[in-house]
Amino acid sequence: MVQVKICGLKTGEAVEAAIEHGADYIGFVHFPKSPRHVELARAGELTKMAGGRVKVVLLLVNPDPALIDEATHLVSPDLIQLHGHESVEDVRAIRLRANLPVIKAIPVETLMDVRAAGDYGLAADMLLFDAKPPKDAELPGGNGIPFDWSALRGFNTDKDYMLSGGLDPQTVKAAIKATGAPIVDVSSGVECAPGEKDLHKIKLFLEQARS
């Protein structure tokens, strides 16, 4: 059964919709440039609201040690997602400091980008393959663009990985079929405006991913 992560949640209503319709993971973004940004204290409140019914992922971008400490204290997530330019050594250090499993986002444009992710696979608990952002983009992810899914064909790992990038209720079935991804991750694809989740689209995405 394919698992689903609904990322970029900001409200209690969106959290409840994701859980009600069967999400396996929910994600909170702490990155001020993002329209999905939430303060750590608010992410902590939403985590408590989830009440252990789903795994909580906190997305950070190039975090320093102080931010890692504050995030783990205020949010208590189940996993940390790193979506910046963190090196393999950074991933190892953050994982050790947070004492939590770490997901490392890998920006993908071609097959070579996937192959280059090998060293990260040894440092992180899970990889997330996302579309490489446009050169002028301010956001490292959540840009609503796909990449060529054929780049993942033949990707072998003994760990689960996530597929992201331009997924929505209309494309997720094809993406799963093309890649065999065990986990799919959506953010902008279930929104009615940047940062504003559409509860009906959340429901549709989960139905399509599971069908």
Active site residues: 7, 130
Q: Among 27, 42, 57, 63, which residue's Cα sits nearest to residue 188?
A: 27
- H or E element at residue 40: helix 40-50
Cβ neighbors of 57 (< 8 A, separation 6 or more) are: 5, 7, 25, 26, 27, 28, 77, 78, 79, 80, 81, 103
Alpha carbon 76 to its chain's center: 17
Strands 183-186 and 161-163: parallel
Q: Among 51, 71, 49, which residue's Cα sits nearest to residue 60?
A: 71
Whether 25 and 9 have beta carbons less than 8 Å apart is answered as: no
Q: Is 97 exposed, middle or buried (0-12, 13-18, 19+ CB in 10 A)?
A: middle
Question: Is residue 102 classed as helix, strand or coil in its secondary structure?
Answer: strand
